[in-house]
Structure 1
Amino acid sequence: MSRRTSSNSSAAAAPEPPLVIVVDDEAAVRDSLDSLLRSIGLRTLLFGSPAELLQSPVPDVPGCLVLDVRLPGISGLDFQTQLSRHGIDLPIVFMTGHGDIPMTVRAMKAGAVDFLSKPFRDQDMLDAVAAAIERDKLRRSETASMDGLRARYATLTPREREVLALVVSGLMNKQVAGELGLSEITVKIHRGSVMRKMGVRSLADLVRNAQALGISRP
């Protein structure tokens, strides 16, 4: 699936509303969901098949997929697997007129947010879509946080990275100095620089950041 980013806008511009991508081979279902979702301020993109979706640019904004299980060319469940292989992480809400327990279990294990049997209540769909969008927002927030953390870590010098790894392993400044053949005052200087560059004020925060980055004592 190709992605296109939104055009440059002023800082005062309001954020774009979440996007719900609907894939169903029945035009009546697509139109009905389009009206329902737009009625609460969501944007929609409608497709009759997974192939149509994969050939279309999709804005990189918070959202989710609403997929029919039985689609032309590929089942919704197989398409879910295909999306995962391509690193596409949009949460999925499945809908089907032929659902059964094994199918539901497979969908949920693969990360689906919900599995609705047709005909479903409008409110059930809206609740499922809201949960999916919140999941996507959380994922994006966590990704942005990790990107920022990696960027801060990249500013550390090789020596500062060594000091960081030893400090978060539980060593005192004197012990770190002994490990690296440095003076204790030099370790203190490096440690202060690490704290500043990593944007933390406490050792506990530094340890949490190191754990998130997978940093351990060499």
Structure 2
Amino acid sequence: MADRKLIHIVDDEEAIRKSASFLLRTAGYAVETWASGTMFLADVKHAEHGCVLLDIRMPEMDGLDVQRTLAERGVTMPVVIMTGHGDVGIAVRAMKAGAVDFLEKPFERATLLYAIETAFARIAEADSAIGRAKEAEVRLAALTPRERDVLNGLARGLPNKTIAYDLGISARTVEVHRANLMTKLEVRSLSDALRIAFAAGIATEE
């Protein structure tokens, strides 16, 4: 993925697209503009990942509908809502649906840049979580199926005796597996092992 920070501006008003583009480009961002929500959605599958500066009031399809469709399609780009005076209630609904922030037009340069940086911080957090999950899966791949079963039981909060009963083995064998899995995961405490398990989603396994 490119290192540049890209903002997709989705607004039917050309004046807003031009002014917001100018402010963002002079601040060092890359910008792509879209004259309607339907145009953006038509190409979003192939669009470069970034954040979305989305107007609420647009013909054909309003911002809430665009936001909902993005979520339904699994598009994870963070959304910053632009709203006119009197649309704050709608903007709050958008935030409840996952928008990062909302800007009331006309907005100041500093306010816009703060909202955009907040959006990119969310992308960084998501990327970090994905990275932790991938690293955890690599570590868990070193475990035997039985060691993974024991870790799954520990992640569910079960004591050794219960894990032993569920797996049809002795408590002593569970202790051996537990010691081995901690060695393979390169951790010294149960809490560290559980952090890896949770990052990989092992606690959701049956």
Tell me the TM-score normalized by structure 2.
Answer: 0.82
Is residue 99–residue 117 contact of structure 1 (8 Å, CA) maintained in 2?
no
Q: How much has 1:187 moved relative to structure 2?
A: 4.4
Q: How much has 1:154 moved relative to structure 2?
A: 4.2
Give the gaps of 5 or more residues in structure 2.
none
Of 46, 50, 53, which residue of structure 1 is paired with 2:33? 46
Q: Distance in 1 between matches of 2:3 and 2:96?
A: 31
Quote the residue 1:10 is aligned against. none
- Indicate whether 1:59 and 2:48 are aligned: yes
CA RMSD of aligned residues (A): 2.7
Q: 1:152 to 1:48 in 2, by over 3 A?
A: same
Is residue 210–residue 216 contact of structure 1 (8 Å, CA) maintained in 2?
no
Q: 1:115 to 1:196 in 2, by over 3 A?
A: same
Of 194, 209, 215, which residue of structure 1 is paired with 2:181? 194
Q: 1:211 to 1:33 in 2, by over 3 A?
A: same
What is the one-letter code of the residue matched to 1:165?
Answer: N
What is the one-letter code of the residue matched to 1:33?
Answer: A
What is the one-letter code of the residue matched to 1:159?
Answer: R
Q: Distance in 2 between matches of 1:22 and 1:206?
A: 43
Give the gaps of 5 or more residues in structure 1.
1-5, 7-14
What is the one-letter code of the residue matched to 1:144?
Answer: G
Q: Distance in 1 between matches of 2:76 and 2:180?
A: 36
Matching of residues 39-118 of structure 1 within 5 Å: 39-56=26-43, 57-60=46-49, 63-118=50-105
Tell me the TM-score normalized by structure 1.
Answer: 0.78
Q: Distance in 2 between matches of 1:183 and 1:102?
A: 58
Quote the residue 2:117 is aligned against. 130
User: In structure 2, the residue corresponding to 1:215 is in which secondary structure?
Assistant: helix
Runs ≥4 in structure 1, deviation > 4 angstroms?
Answer: 174-179, 186-189
- Indicate whether 1:32 and 2:36 are aligned: no
Q: How much has 1:114 moved relative to structure 2?
A: 1.6
Aligned length: 201
